[in-house]
Amino acid sequence: MNVIKFGGSSLASAESFKRAADIVRREEKAVVVLSAIGKCSSSDEKITDILIDYCLAVKNGDFCGALKKAKIVYEKFISIADDLNATCDFYRKFFLFYDKLITFSRADFEYIVSRGEYYTCLLFCDYSKIDFVDPMNLIYFDKNGKADIPLISDKVKKIPADIFVTCGFYGTDKNGEIKLFPRGGGDSTAAVLAAATGAEIFYDYTDVEGVYTASPEISKAKETIGTMSYSQLYKMATHGANVFFYEAIPYVAGKNIKLVILDSFNANGEKTVVTDSGKNERIKAFLIDKDLFKIEITISYYREKIGIIYDILKYFMLDEIVICDYYAERKKVVLIVKSYASRVYETLEKVGVGCTVSNTNALTVMKPRRFSPFRKERKYYSSSLDEIKKTAERFSLRK
């Protein structure tokens, strides 16, 4: 038995629904866990966020604001449903919910917010014709608010289907009411089900190729960490690597379950395999602190590039500011440095170039891969002026 989880970003369009269904159809025996429809671009909104905003608007008496949110929920679901040629049955069920939204007839937070995953699952099952199991009849919490694994294990055994789909993020508490996991809790549901079924592999489909050494938002020189242990993942996840929800890790760690984190848009691409004993010896350090800064310098004239970069690197070296990572684009140079805020600002003042500085919080430093002559060269420290000059030149060659 395998557990397959799709995050919201892997379910943001009809195309991604189809891709996810194809992936699931390849399995013989699997539990499939879905998050609510996610963002299809960085400016887009997740269904869960929209539903939360809806509840807040109703609570504050901003009914017009709430209706606008209801409209966005409607449009997102219906545009995907139309593209998937959904059945009348789906539309009918969804319209009943939409009716509740616009008449404010049910505004309890847990119910409304959990409908994001619920209708995502209904739509997925409507399209794929795979069985649906409501987590209200599967994911139970004990009196301490923790997932009740033995009870869940019992319930799963009674499900006859070889493959079924259930919703992430919620279950039922001791009183039979809906209870949500914390945000990001789709991973928790999947981890709980992996533990309860003694799954061999837990596939976590997301929109990145596994766990990266640094957030893709801060570093282009990032690389996928191919294998790692649960304790290494836990360290990263508790300090900002939000590719996997840290609270889900204890459910699967120590149970001989292989967690594979991969990109649903490129399932054959790079991925991270997490196991109990798979400690990655190449991970040299986790730089996780408030003293990591991302510095972006925009360079308008190409010919200035070498000079400016040379100055920056020189001053950083003299002021003992460690450059952890860097990359260059045509008109921009980005450096990730480690130092105190005041020193970073003082040094930049000496260099005298305009730049934006932002605080970041996590970076994994890997030992360079051996036997890999084609790997992009990376330097963590600049040790001599000569070397700095070379680095500056290399920067300017990159486009």
Alpha-carbon distance of 195 to 33, in angstroms, equals 14
Query: In the complex with ligand ASP, which residue's Cβ is closer, 141 or 326?
Result: 141
Total residue length of the chain: 399
Query: In the complex with ligand ASP, which residue's Cβ is closer, 35 or 339?
Result: 35
Give min distance, CB of 36 to ligand ASP, in A. Answer: 4
Sequential DSSP letters for 87-141: -HHHHHHHHHHHHHHHHT----HHHHHHHHHHHHHHHHHHHH--EE--GGGT-BB
Query: In the complex with ligand ASP, which residue's Cβ is closer, 23 or 321?
Result: 23
206 binds ligand ASP (CB under 6 A): no
Report the amino acid identity of residue 315.
Y
- Residue of 4, 24, 81, 186 that binds ligand ASP (CB under 6 A): 186
Give min distance, CB of 115 to ligand ASP, in A. Answer: 11
Phi, psi of 296 (to 5 degrees): -110, 120
- Interface positions, 25-64, toward ligand ASP (CB under 6 A): 35-36, 46, 48
Exposure b/e, 160-195, CB count within 10 A at least 16 = b: eeebbbbbbbbbbbeeeebbbbeebbbbbbbbbbbb
**Region near ligand ASP per CB under 6 A, out of 141-149, 183-191, 222-230, 335-343:** 183-191
Give min distance, CB of 184 to ligand ASP, in A. Answer: 5
**Region near ligand ASP per CB under 6 A, out of 13-21, 184-192, 217-225, 388-396:** 184-192
DSSP designation for 264: T
- Residue of 185, 199, 348, 391 that binds ligand ASP (CB under 6 A): 185
210 binds ligand ASP (CB under 6 A): no
Alpha-carbon distance of 113 to 53, in angstroms, equals 10
**Region near ligand ASP per CB under 6 A, out of 23-31, 179-187, 265-273, 349-357:** 179-187
Query: In the complex with ligand ASP, which residue's Cβ is closer, 35 or 347?
Result: 35
Cβ-based neighbour number of residue 356 at 10 Å: 10
How does strand 201-206 pair with strand 258-263? parallel
Contact track, ligand ASP, 133-172, x by CB under 6 A? -----------------------------------xx---
- Reference 247, options 194, 199, 182; nearest CA is 182
Handedness of CA 279, 280, 284, 286 (dihedral sign): negative
Contact track, ligand ASP, 108-137, x by CB under 6 A? --------x---------------------
How does strand 163-167 pair with strand 272-275? unpaired
Query: In the complex with ligand ASP, which residue's Cβ is closer, 8 or 135?
Result: 8
283 binds ligand ASP (CB under 6 A): no
Q: How many residues bind ligand ASP (CB under 6 A)?
A: 14
Q: Give the up-direction half-sphere exposure of residue 21: CA atoms within 13 A in the CB hemisphere.
A: 19
5 binds ligand ASP (CB under 6 A): no
Give min distance, CB of 14 to ligand ASP, in A. Answer: 19
User: Which segments of 129-249 are extended strands (E)?
Assistant: 131-132, 163-167, 170-172, 178-180, 201-206, 227-229
10 binds ligand ASP (CB under 6 A): no
Alpha-carbon distance of 165 to 178, in angstroms, equals 18
**Residues of this chain that bind ligand ASP (CB under 6 A):** 7-8, 35-36, 46, 48, 116, 168-169, 183-187
